[in-house]
Structure 1
């Protein structure tokens, strides 16, 4: 069984980020497992804790995948075993979780009932990003339900909130004594101005506010052992990262991100190292309502702040919309396709020498 502790009184530790003010650290209550100096607790140890993190791409429950919620315990499908085995598993929840609201002026609209959170928990997923271009598909009424439903179900969310400070705040989880900060940003143009969080307006954290995003990462760096950023970005159906992705990744790496994970493009994108920062540009669809495509769980082993191993556990989006594990030669071929995607990323095949 995984044992994770959310740092702070709420589901996220609020680190207020703005262009001119240094974000404010709100410390957790003193506990036996908390460290006064979290970074030193891990990095100064002669034998840093080694964690296994697992990441999946976009998940929602609509059309063919809506039927999966008849049994939330099995909704995500057989890749659950990989997610559950990790010390920390994270996906992007690509939907409003609501039965209310009015569709926003956009082409595609996704929503799911509150049992979506039951499915997420049953799959061993520990936290979900809501920094995407579907979280507000049914307006702020639907978004309020999404936040309330997550809190009621005990599913930590990040990348959005009731205010701009909450949206840009990292979720900080203590995993086997390691404080892991997770932040989420959306780099999608559609309705970005109207969906962005404001001082007293619910919404999501936008990557387009680069100074605020960088400040949030720098503040998380000061108060966590490991900093992970999960972005919603990229050009749909393009397996190569675009210029905006590359530029933003460089900013995040410079601000102190140890890992940068992405989704949105509906296809896998390549991975590698940007200096000492591990970047996986795109994990594609994971539980999806149409089509079939390469997918998988990105399994990452981390020692201290260093990614020591990363591999895609290959799968394919099946006829049910669930990811189905690949085996044998099909798995080998899929893994090679993912490795080959690194060629257009500009990333290194490994970290620089210590």
Structure 2
């Protein structure tokens, strides 16, 4: 929800006091979250008339949707769960997320204190407190369709689904079965129906072993193109604006893969308003695929450790302005740099100008045309 008081609190109250996370509660019975919004209801993400703090005011009738990349509450970022006030978990850039009518990012971790680690190199987990921290930091929707959502096996998945069922924020891209995993979160923003879907295109153990099925819990997979495209087409019957948040790409590569460009075109044809994603630990090009906005990679955001990939500490928030007709009519980018504490600090002055120019330069190999600009 975008309220002036919330945005003001984020602006005035952001401090960094380290603390510790909590232990996950016992598992509860999972309940579906995607598609739960009903006409006339006031779900999370419904807009108010509060002006944006990080961009020029948006005329009535238009809506703004903000996107950020991968988040961990692990390693050096685990203490962010204990900062006061709670909206400070993501640092000052949280105000950019809170200023948008709707904001989405990826939580790349299991939510569990149990389970055996899967046969893979890296394992990430956190507590349900992470979902409250993201909500308090101005995030409206969390994707968990990624290659680390089931790092701790069936027990970890059970706990993650329990956390989803009792979450204070919509969690998409994972579920007790395929119907729930592919289900959109649907809400009304500025009188416009908006649906958000998430899926993973990463070819890995998680997508092979823990892909959601008819009676099988797991993540939504973009490798099952027909399932994802059908989800988008169905969402389009419910909402004028359909956003697809994907985990995709190749680590360290600043140009999209053939798999990325292929699915982006198909999603555009299926009616997606915007296709946004992350995974590569570096930013990729953004722009228009016909009438569909595509961001091929938003990079690391709240990041647990260092990375050897070039420019992996460069990140930021992309904010789209969407017309009442469901068309992307503006794009702005708030650049940030991941510091030694793992927190994305907004950049200003020449550093911000250079970051925006660098992002523009990544568009060439992405095959996209420039999006309309909101901020010059």
> Structure 2-normalised TM-score?
0.82
Return closer, same or farther for 1:344/1:100 CA change in 2, 3 Å cut-off: same
Query: Hey, what does 2:34 align to over in structure 1?
Result: 12
Q: What is the alpha-carbon root mean square deviation over aligned residues? A: 1.9
1:87 maps to 2:118: no
What is the alpha-carbon distance in structure 2 between the residues aligned to residue 119 and residue 177 of structure 1?
28
Match of residue 298, structure 1, among 313, 318, 321: 318
Matches within 5 A, 1:160-171: 160-171=174-185
Query: Hey, what does 1:314 align to over in structure 2?
Result: 335
1:153-199 residue CA offsets vs partner (Å, 9 max, x unmatched): 32101111100111111111222322111111101111122110011
The answer as to whether partners of 1:103 and 1:109 remain within 8 angstroms in 2 is yes
Query: Hey, what does 2:261 align to over in structure 1?
Result: 246
Query: Hey, what does 2:277 align to over in structure 1?
Result: 262
Q: CA deviation at 1:97?
A: 1.1
1:49-80 residue CA offsets vs partner (Å, 9 max, x unmatched): 20111100000111100121122432111101
Return closer, same or farther for 1:116/1:243 CA change in 2, 3 Å cut-off: same
Return closer, same or farther for 1:29/1:258 CA change in 2, 3 Å cut-off: closer
The answer as to whether partners of 2:32 and 2:180 remain within 8 angstroms in 1 is no
Query: Hey, what does 2:302 align to over in structure 1?
Result: 287
Matches within 5 A, 1:77-156: 77-156=91-170
Return closer, same or farther for 1:31/1:308 CA change in 2, 3 Å cut-off: closer
1:269 aligns to what SS in structure 2? coil
More off after superposition, 257-266 vs 67-76:
67-76
Query: Hey, what does 2:77 align to over in structure 1?
Result: 65
1:54 maps to 2:54: no
User: 5+ residue gaps in structure 2?
Assistant: 4-30, 44-58, 307-311
Q: CA deviation at 1:211?
A: 1.1
Q: CA deviation at 1:213?
A: 0.9
* Stretches of 4+ aligned residues off by more than 6 angstroms: none
Q: CA deviation at 1:316?
A: 0.5
What is the alpha-carbon distance in structure 1 between the residues aligned to residue 219 and residue 256 of structure 2?
22
Query: Hey, what does 2:354 align to over in structure 1?
Result: 333
Query: Hey, what does 2:244 align to over in structure 1?
Result: 229
User: 5+ residue gaps in structure 1?
Assistant: 4-8, 15-27, 35-46
The answer as to whether partners of 1:48 and 1:303 remain within 8 angstroms in 2 is no
Query: Hey, what does 2:28 align to over in structure 1?
Result: none
1:75 aligns to what SS in structure 2? helix
Number of equivalences = 321
